[in-house]
Structure 1
Amino acid sequence: AELNVRESDVRVCDESSCKYGGVCKEEGDGLKCACQFQCHTNYIPVCGSNGDTYQNECFLRRAACKHQKEITMVSRGPCYSVMLSVLIFFSEYEGSGTEVQRKHSKCGVCKYRAECDEDAENVGCVCNIDCSGYSFNPVCASDGSSYNNPCFVREASCLRQEQIDIRHLGHCSDTDDTNAVGKKDDGMQYRPEVKDASDQREDIYIGNHIPCSESFNGYCIHGKCEFIYSTQKASCR
C-alpha cells in the first residue's frame, strides 16, 4: 500500500484534523495523519473540483486526504473536456448583446478567459490565468507543443487569442500531426500516456515559452528558438 503522511502544524491528530479517509498513526513522539489507499492503476480519468485530472476516482480521494482539502469529482473524463465545453458556451454567448459584451466593448472581443484592461495606456485583452497551483500532468496540444498541465494550454490560448486544444495526455511525439486538430467526430482515438511527475524533459515548455514557428527557421545559429508570449519576441537558448 502506498503511504502518504501529512505533517500537521500541531502535534495533535483527531477526526477534525485528519479527514477524507485519513487515519491517525503513531510516528516518533507524536501522531501523524496517514493516507493509506490501495489504488488500482487502471486509467479511468476523472476531473476534480480543483481543476486537476486524476488517473481514477481513488487517486482523487487520495489527493484529498493527502492535502486535507475537499476535492470532489466534477465529471468523468479529463478536465480539459469540461473546460472546452465552457469555452464553446461563452464563444456562442458573446454575440448576444449581453453584459459580458458591453463590459469588453473597448477591447472588442476578449476570448479564452482574457479580460479587458481598460485602465491600461494601450487598452487591450490581458490574461490573468495563474497556473502555479496546478500539479504536473503533461499534455500534448494541437499546436504541437507539450505543456506541464492543461492550465498552461488555457494560458496559451488566452495569450494568443486562438483556440488550442489538448490532443492527448503525455508529451507530444514525432508522430503527432500539428495540422490535425482532434474533434469529437473525427474518428481519432484518444490515447492517454501517463507520465511520472519526475519526468522533466527538455521538450516540456513551462508558462509562456513555446517552440518557435517555421517562420523563425534559421533565427538561432546556436541553441533552440523559443517564442515568449509576454514580449511577443523570439529568443535562443
Structure 2
Amino acid sequence: MYLTVGIIITASVLLAVPGINSSTCTSYAALSEPCGCTISKDNLDPLCGSDGGTYLNECFLECEKTLSNVDIRIDHKGMCQGDARCSCHPRYEPVCASNGVTYSNDCVLQCNIRKDPSIRLNHKGECQSDAPSRYL
C-alpha cells in the first residue's frame, strides 16, 4: 500500500516539473526548435550532463539525449567545469535576435552567432510575436 502511494506521488512530482514535456521532446518537426523546450526565470535550472555539456534545464538535456540517441544523465546540478561548448552564465537577461528567437542572455546569443553568423541582435528583451518564442 505504502509503495503504491509512494510511486504515485513520485510520478506526480516528475510530471509536474516545469519545462518538461515528454511529448514534445520526441518531436523532430524543426531542427532549430525540435523539442519545444523553453527557458525563463522560473525554470532556469542549469544541469551538467554526463556528456560534459551544460543544459539550461532538464528538458534541454532530455532533448539532446533524444536527438543524439546517447544516454546522457544528470552528472550534477549547476554548470559543468571546462564545458567544451560555449560557457555562459545562467542569468536570465533575454535578448531578441534577428531570427525571431529569444535567447536567455547575450552570451547565449553570441554562442549561436558563432554557429550561424547571419543571426544579429535585434533588441534587449523578449521577442514579441504572435507565435510563442523559444528560449535558448
Please indicate the TM-score interval, normalised by the length of the shorter structure.
0.3 to 0.5
Higher relative contact order (CA 8 A, sep 6+): 2
Query: What TM-score results when the alignment is normalised by the length of structure 1?
Result: 0.24
Structure (1/2) with the larger strand percentage: 1
Structure (1/2) with the larger helix percentage: 2
Q: Of the two, which has the highest radius of gyration?
A: 1
